[in-house]
Amino acid sequence: MDTHLHDYITMLRVERNLALNTIDAYSRDLKNYVHYLELKGLKSVMGIKQKHIRGFIRELADIHLSASSISRVFSSIRSYHSFLNAEHWMENNPSQLLEAPKLPRKLPEVLTVQEVDDILDAIDESSALAMRDLALLEILYSAGLRVSEACNLNLTGLLLDSEMIRVFGKGSKERLVPIGKSAMQRLDDYLHFDRPELARKRETKGIVFLSQNGRPLTRMTVYNILKKWSLAAGITKKISPHTFRHSFATHLLEGGADLRAVQEMLGHADISSTQIYTHLDKEYLKEVHRTFHPRW
């Protein structure tokens, strides 16, 4: 069974061009699944039945894996079985008639416009790497980038004359995103003053945001930068760099932006991923109504 799994992972990498993190997640989930099947005495994929898939999902629930993680694992299994069936290694697809686990609709945490301003204002401009931190957080909020997109942003992607940046998102899909004047100014300051000193320490391959030793920033470093300045601003919400992305989308829609334009800027392949922010906007409107309407 390991041979089929290896072929499937290779297909994901070569033909579907999925992001590395997505491929790693598929591989991890399916290795656990194959291990479970082997413990049940299966030696060939031809012997897999619906009961085996249900049993594996039950085991994940028994160890209290989160609903979202179980849903992701089920999606991995269903996709794997579709591949096995298409390659004629199985006569049928035992996952086809199984329903995906129901997920509770969870709205993302967002910041208010004032909270974003407070975090940016809290950055002490006399501190080390303050210009980098300001530019980084301004870009995260102004362009709604994923943290990986910010970490991989390259100098060749800065189209500053057009007030745009070129971003490579999931699956290396390219998109152009506008950035605001404030972000432009902070980025210009960083590029002229902080970055040249950092770039002298090692080969940077054109990466925009660098650490103190000249390396590209990691996700954890970006998280720590945001956490540092959020605490300085007195923000007690549990936030991450992705919170800035959620806030970017929510604030645009609250301001009347078109849903498809926001979808394009976020780099969502499916508009249903963007529609959660319209629901979030409705929740915000209801909260305003509850707070200020005299007959509530």
- The residues annotated with a catalytic role in the active site are 146, 170, 242, 245, 268, 277
**How far, in Å, CA of 223 to CA of 276, rounded?**
24
Beta carbons of 145 and 167 less than 8 angstroms apart? yes
**How far, in Å, CA of 135 to CA of 145, rounded?**
13
Beta carbons of 29 and 73 less than 8 angstroms apart? yes
Q: Which residues pair with 158 in a beta bridge?
A: 165
Of 128, 156, 120, nearest in space to 247 by CA? 120
Q: Contacts for 229-232 with beta carbons within 8 Å, 24 or more apart?
A: 229/119, 229/120, 229/122, 229/123, 229/133, 229/137, 230/119, 230/122, 232/122, 232/123, 232/124
DSSP symbol at 207? B
Strand order in the sheet with 164-168: 158-159, 164-168, 174-178
Q: Determine the residue type at 34.
A: V
Q: Determine the residue type at 127.
A: S
**How far, in Å, CA of 42 to CA of 35, rounded?**
10
Q: Which residues pair with 175 in a beta bridge?
A: 167
**CB neighbourhood size of 228 (10 A):** 15
